[in-house]
Amino acid sequence: GAGVSQSPSNKVTEKGKDVELRCDPISGHTALYWYRQRLGQGLEFLIYFQGNSAPDKSGLPSDRFSAERTGGSVSTLTIQRTQQEDSAVYLCASKGRVVTGELFFGEGSRLTVL
């Protein structure tokens, strides 16, 4: 499709399990972002990829969180040993080359940790 695609749309897991969330950005977009939104809160920046540069991981809340972007396209966000406070909607966004261009968001992956 033409938009940002995320999978799974919903994931329920048990505390302590690992999860992987996938993002397929808009073709040709060089920048990719991960945000999360916890219930009743705003969007919280997690990590940013730009082309072949080293990612900006400054928003990752703990070392249980990691992300990679293979071939400058698809990205995977991995959460190890999930905790209940990890429950949130994880949103991926991509952006084209315009410096001030807006982000295009996917529909998000809703993670529930029991």
Partner 1 sequence: DQQVKQNSPSLSVQEGRISILNCDYTNSMFDYFLWYKKYPAEGPTFLISISSIKDKNEDGRFTVFLNKSAKHLSLHIVPSQPGDSAVYFCAASYSGSARQLTFGSGTQLTVLP
List residues near partner 1 by CB under 8 A. Answer: 4, 31, 33, 35, 40-45, 48, 50, 56, 59, 91, 93, 95, 99-108
Task: Report the amino acid identity of residue 78.
Answer: T
Q: In 3D, which of 35, 22, 69, 66 has the Cα closest to residue 50?
A: 69
Amino acid at 18: D
Q: Minimum Å distance from CB 103 to partner 1?
A: 6
Q: How far is the CB of 58 from partner 1 (least distance, A)?
A: 9
Rounded to a whole number of angstroms, the minimum distance from the CB of residue 44 to partner 1 is 8
By beta-carbon proximity to partner 1, the closer residue of 87 and 105 is 105
For 49-64, the DSSP string reads EETTSPPB-TT--STT
Question: Smallest distance from the beta carbon of 98 to partner 1, in angstroms?
Answer: 9
Of 19 and 46, which has the nearer Cβ to partner 1? 46
Give how far the C-alpha of residue 27 lies from the chain's centroid of Cα atoms, to the nearest Å.
Answer: 17
Quickly tell me which residue has 């808009």 as its tokens. 26
Nearer to partner 1, 41 or 70 (CB): 41
Residue located via tokens 């991960």:
34
* Residue closer to partner 1, measured from CB, 15 or 97: 97
Rounded CA-CA distance 37/89 in Å is: 5
